[in-house]
Structure 1
Amino acid sequence: MLTWFLSRWGVAPLVARELVDEAIGGRFESWTGPDIVLVDDVAEQLALSVRPDDTAPESGAPADQLERWLAVRAAVPWQECPDGGGDGPVTPSRDGAAEDIRAFDGALDVARAEGLLAALDLMRSDAAQGGPLDVELLRGWQRHVLGTAQPPEFRIEPAFAKGGRERYGIGPDTRDRLDACLAESSAEGGRPLPLTARAARAYLDVCFFHPFADGNARSAFLAFLFVLAREGVALNGVGLVRRIRVRADEPEDALALARYAGCHLAETRRLASR
């Protein structure tokens, strides 16, 4: 039905089939109706993957999303991001991150949720020590995210997403560049950016550096939470942050992510003050 719908609106049949297969991802386990969370996720994945030019074949290699992001990253007015209602630690009235993982990831795959919850616990332990955010920390969390015996290695080849339509380049200094970007999430030195901006920027750094073969969105989510947790901040909710789609070459998308983080933080502070 989804393939027919895309074909009806001009998406090339082969492209439509690939988009639907990618969105569903083999997650229908029987002929019974799927969970509503799974339906929502399939619809979102399909909607985000469709572009106006899917009606015509592409020519040439896709643009490097990492280089696009690095150009945009330097131009985003991060200082203008909301601060989420003030500085200082805040304890939420409920664990929004864990609740979202159980509800969303748990509906998609129980093992996925269990792995991400284990990574969340480790991330919070690391944040309590107050150290820097770097690739080695990401690798430690990612072992639980992916359920591997050893921490996964940083990729050594170009990465692709959305059926090869998005490419993330690689160079001899890519890992070092990511470490340098993640180091900027700290509040130390000079005039630090708002916490929401630093957390959102770290999230996008991980997304567009695309360090691992799989699970990069979950790794980015953990990096986002780490930047907050290192300064004693947790959130009542994370849904806006986890559901937004951000394009590498759109500064407004990056600001929107920071604003959503600010909304969640402001609401957390409001409820905590009661």
Structure 2
Amino acid sequence: MADRTGGGSGWYGHCHQVLVWVLARWGVEPPVAQAMVEQAIGGRFKSWTAPDVLLVEDIAERLSMSLRPDHGVRSDPPLRDHLQSWLATRATVPWQECPADDGRPVTAARDGAAEDIRAFDHAVDPARAQGMLAALGLARDGAARGAALDFELLRGWQRHVLDTAQPPPFRSAPAFAKEGRERYGIGPDTRALMDSCLAESASHPDDNPLPITARAARAARAYLDVCFFHPFDDGNARAAFLALVFVLAREGITLDDVLLLRRISFQADDPQDGLILARYIDSHIKETRRNSALPPQG
């Protein structure tokens, strides 16, 4: 392969590419193949030095051992759909166990969401932070007028999150996350199904099976809905965070800190994750209420 490509000292890069092609040829989805190859050969080759037989055999064994049945040909058996896993899990989460509060508004002395964006997102890219702050403002405006949470509302925010000329469309192909370990399917009714799930974030008893006081549960479920429906080609974690902030704002809640609510990861098939996130949110609500009752410093 090195002779044919003339790769010279960079031959191992071509090797990586060819191994991904081979796995893709046999039905392994490209993001999964990329992760598998990186795990098998990452950092093990040296420039200008051909790998010895033992190293080649070890890499081959690593790749073969990492192959699972769901990495096989796409049609037999089908790859697991983690969106369907989430929908099944969603129905079994004991949301009624989530902490409930008295339903009163919670007004923070400082805007924890905006401060986190200025700290974290600005460090990644100032333009990213600017877009997030614009989207946050739109989310708060929508909450103030009692807007319904649906894809159309999300894509209006996402235009600023991704800095696109037009609001981005709903994805048209399966999506992947967590370095290819999770795959979210797509069908003709996926967008409508997401809108139906997001509608349950409202506090109206007729529309929502959750108690009206379980505001943390509604926000947590909306966050995970956006994560696992994965409606956009990019920026879904940011969209999920904005949805969480929106649901709380519509309930009259502003948090002074969001430390536990960003840069975290949840599993589509773990019913405890929904409860854990709801408890994180409830903890922030209670802490914000305590802080707002403290006398001003100085």
Distance in 2 between the 1:16 and 1:254 partners?
33
TM-score, normalising length: structure 1: 0.79
Could you list the runs of 5+ residues in structure 1 that have no partner in the other structure? 1-10, 20-52
Distance in 1 between the 2:122 and 2:65 partners?
35
The answer to whether the 8 A contact 1:15-1:54 is kept is: no
Q: Does 1:204 align with 2:224?
A: yes
Q: 2:94 aligns with which of 77, 94, 97?
A: 77
Q: Secondary structure at the match of 2:191?
A: helix
Distance in 1 between the 2:110 and 2:229 partners?
32
Distance in 1 between the 2:66 and 2:152 partners?
42
Residue 169 of structure 1 aligns with an amino acid whose one-letter code is G
Task: Give the equivalent residue in structure 2 for 1:47.
Answer: none
Q: Does 1:171 align with 2:187?
A: yes
The superposition leaves residues 27-73 of structure 1 with CA deviations (integer Å, 9 ceiling, x where unpaired) of xxxxxxxxxxxxxxxxxxxxxxxxxx997234434421100000000
- TM-aligned CA distance change 1:59 to 1:182, over 3 Å: same
Q: Does 1:14 align with 2:38?
A: yes
Task: Give the equivalent residue in structure 1 for 2:66.
Answer: 56
Distance in 2 between the 1:89 and 1:176 partners?
31
Task: Give the equivalent residue in structure 1 for 2:50.
Answer: none
Residue 144 of structure 1 aligns with an amino acid whose one-letter code is H
Distance in 1 between the 2:161 and 2:42 partners?
26
- TM-aligned CA distance change 1:77 to 1:56, over 3 Å: same
Q: Does 1:195 align with 2:181?
A: no
- TM-aligned CA distance change 1:17 to 1:137, over 3 Å: farther
- TM-aligned CA distance change 1:54 to 1:92, over 3 Å: farther
Q: Report sequence identity in percent.
A: 61
Distance in 2 between the 1:255 and 1:244 partners?
14
The answer to whether the 8 A contact 2:93-2:275 is kept is: yes
Shift of 1:161: 2.1
Task: Give the equivalent residue in structure 1 for 2:153.
Answer: 137
- TM-aligned CA distance change 1:183 to 1:17, over 3 Å: farther
For this pair of structures, how many residues does the alignment match?
230
Task: Give the equivalent residue in structure 2 for 1:34.
Answer: none
Distance in 2 between the 1:219 and 1:158 partners?
18
Residue 214 of structure 1 aligns with an amino acid whose one-letter code is D
The answer to whether the 8 A contact 1:78-1:193 is kept is: no
Q: Secondary structure at the match of 2:70?
A: coil
Moved more, 173-182 or 154-163: 154-163
Distance in 2 between the 1:272 and 1:204 partners?
28
Shift of 1:18: 7.5
- Listed as ranges, the matches of 1:51-130 within 5 Å are 56-61=66-71, 62-83=79-100, 85-130=101-146
Distance in 2 between the 1:17 and 1:215 partners?
29
Q: Does 1:216 align with 2:233?
A: no
Q: Which structure has the higher relative contact order (CA within 8 Å, separation 6+)?
A: 1
Task: Give the equivalent residue in structure 2 for 1:226.
Answer: 246
Residue 165 of structure 1 aligns with an amino acid whose one-letter code is R
The answer to whether the 8 A contact 1:18-1:163 is kept is: no
The superposition leaves residues 159-197 of structure 1 with CA deviations (integer Å, 9 ceiling, x where unpaired) of 122343321001110000000000000010254360000
Shift of 1:267: 0.3
Q: Does 1:154 align with 2:178?
A: no
The answer to whether the 8 A contact 2:201-2:218 is kept is: yes
Moved more, 241-250 or 202-211: 241-250
Shift of 1:12: 6.7
The superposition leaves residues 196-231 of structure 1 with CA deviations (integer Å, 9 ceiling, x where unpaired) of 000000000000000000000000000001001111
Distance in 1 between the 2:174 and 2:141 partners?
32
The answer to whether the 8 A contact 2:103-2:213 is kept is: no
